[in-house]
Structure 1
């Protein structure tokens, strides 16, 4: 099954879904996911403000997205480990993922070469990929948040309460083509 999944390392629900996708692929599920970067900070930027990927600083998570995209596009064999490590830096360790030193530690913990990732980021191609991914998701599928699953012409925003649960994800993937249900939202969150 081919599908896209949007992500931003700032969002814990994106992590829950991303880890389910990664776990399913590792289990051998017949999935061909496309990981699509979507900046939550950009989604909350006024039209008259500069795009977040063009700002020189901030706590927007853009630098982490660029590091993830460098791994995705230039070192796909290490992307799953880097993807997990960048989420962990934010959500397990509570780190500032706009800090290059933090990103270097995360990438190193994933067994990747932080100098190689930084070199790709310095070229600028991950910044361009972020802009392209975000604009495509917003323009083509009207994406407003993460994680959103993309299948054909349809996009479905989902929030998993459990992290990395492959069976939860399979249930959602099985429902993606069912377009008669627009919204199913609990009024309270059981915990």
Structure 2
């Protein structure tokens, strides 16, 4: 009997990227409906890491993106998103999410961060806000505060971003499917870029399992664009 193949799905995202939130439901459906087991891993990718200058949340660039792309896509996907009043750095949000993984609460915190920012306009660059969000998801605030103070996951975040650089990631979300079941005959990974329908995700999986070439969909947001 041929064993069921296992596929690894590595996802790079940023909590301040609206396209990453827009793609969440599609990824959920893809994982649920996948014909093979998926090992899912989320990775950090800061669109505007320090010392890159932050953008004005109500500036022409961001407003244009939301009017032309974000709001129409949100309507298609029944998401009640609104342009946040702040445009913070996301390093502390990643520190919070990765700490929550050690407490077995990553999924709930991961989703809560997106929802807090894009639906409720909360400043996820603010430590106190992050502590509140994590606490609402069952994460110990005292332990998280200590972790944030010592930047416990600084190296993990930087390693994620270094890996993204090697892969040529320039836009988000970025999903890479890799065969995890046949290490003796590794298949080339297949990449899906940007806000893609589930049909594109399924086609990418089919290409991987068939041993086809790597492929992409489209990029929705450039890193550090101004």
- TM norm. shorter chain > 0.5: yes
**Separation (CA, whole Å) in 2 of partners of 1:156 and 1:43:** 27
Cα RMSD (Å) of the superposition?
Answer: 3.2
Distance 2:145 2:28 in 1: 24
Aligned match of 2:60:
none
Residue 143 of structure 1 is matched in structure 2 by 169
Residues 62-121 of structure 1: per-residue CA shift (max 9 Å, x gap) = 11111112223x22x210000011111111111111101211221122222222222222
Match of 1:67 in 2: 96
Gaps in structure 1 of 5+ consecutive residues: 47-57, 162-166, 187-191
**Matched length:** 166
From 31, 39, 43, the counterpart of 2:38: 31
Match of 2:122 in 1: 95
Match of 2:10 in 1: 4
Bigger radius of gyration among the two: 2
Greater percentage in helix: 1
Deviations 1:27-56 (A, max 9, x none): 58522111111111139949xxxxxxxxxx
**What is the correspondence of 1:20-169 to structure 2 with a 5 Å cutoff?**
20-22=26-28, 27=32, 30-42=37-49, 45=52, 59-72=88-101, 74-75=102-103, 77-139=104-166, 141-152=167-178, 153-160=189-196, 167=198
- Give the 3 Å change call, closer, same or farther, for CA 143–86 of structure 1 in structure 2: same
The 2-side partners of 1:129 and 1:182 are apart by 26
Shift of 1:16: 2.9
Q: Is the 8 A contact 2:190 2:205 kept in 1?
A: no
TM-score by length of 1: 0.71
CA displacement at 1:136 relative to structure 2: 1.1
Aligned to 1:171: 202
